Amino acid sequence: MTDKSTSLGALLAKWRKAAGLSQANMADALETQQATISKLESGAYKLSVAQLISFLSACGLTVSDVAGEIDAATRAEDRPLWERIDE
């Protein structure tokens, strides 16, 4: 089970806040609704690679900038990624 502080949603919220963006600001940047951002950050919605790249871009980040954090969050899982891919 994922620790809430290491989930991808928690990382999204961390990166958004570090960029000084509210959920509403992020929604505007991604041309979506604030509720969608909330659901991405809570883990209720799955994030595509394209959405991740857009989210990071809005925060002024790249995948390379956050690869270590994503790797650490992935390692925090108690099952390998390939067993969780359809969750």
52: domain CATH number is: 1.10.260.40
Is-contact 39 13, C-beta < 8 A? no
pLDDT of residue 80: 62
The pLDDT score that the predictor gives to residue 72 is 84
10 in a domain, yes or no? Answer: yes
Task: Please give the Cα distance from 41 to 23 (Å, whole number).
Answer: 9
Tell me the CA distances in angstroms from 38 to 43, 55, 66, 72, one per residue in order.
9, 13, 20, 23
Provide the whole-model pTM. Answer: 0.79
Give yes or no for residue 81 having a pLDDT over 50: yes
Q: Is 85 among the domain residues?
A: no
Q: With 50 as the cut, is the pLDDT of residue 2 above it?
A: no
Report how many domains make up the chain: 1
Answer whether residue 43 is part of any domain. Answer: yes
pLDDT tens track for 6-50: 588 999 999 999 999 999 999 999 999 999 999 999 988 888 999
